[in-house]
Amino acid sequence: MALAVQKCGLTFDEARAVVGALFDAVTQRLQAGESVDTPLGKFFVEPRGEPYFRIRWWKLQKMNRKAKRVVFQPAELNTERTHE
């Protein structure tokens, strides 16, 4: 992603800062419970199921410890090419 931003004329460090700021903004909106629409798709938060336990390698593990998870739903991209 930083390479694509560099093509707009920014240096590597500037591009990295732009990408970092973008991810920080997305993270803040998701933590607030909001969804984020991008050209690539949609990020949103959804609740997980109830926690449950399983035994693995003779140890008890608690699964679904976190109440929510981030989901990415890809946008439908137009992949058809037209020849002129």
In this prediction the pTM is 0.60
pLDDT per residue as tens digits for the range 48-59 = 878 889 889 999
pLDDT per residue as tens digits for the range 4-38 = 777 788 888 888 888 899 889 989 998 898 999 98
> CA-CA distances (angstroms) from residue 37 to 18, 47, 57?
18, 19, 41
* Mean of pLDDT values over 57-66: 84
Find tokens 């500037």 and name the residue. Answer: 14
- Say yes or no to pLDDT of 2 above 60: yes
Domains of the chain: 2-74 (4.10.520.10)
Q: What is the pLDDT of residue 29?
A: 92
Task: Extract the tokens encoding 22.
Answer: 């973008």
CA gyration radius for the chain? 19
* Mean of pLDDT values over 35-52: 85
| C-alpha dihedral sign at 27, 30, 34, 40 | positive
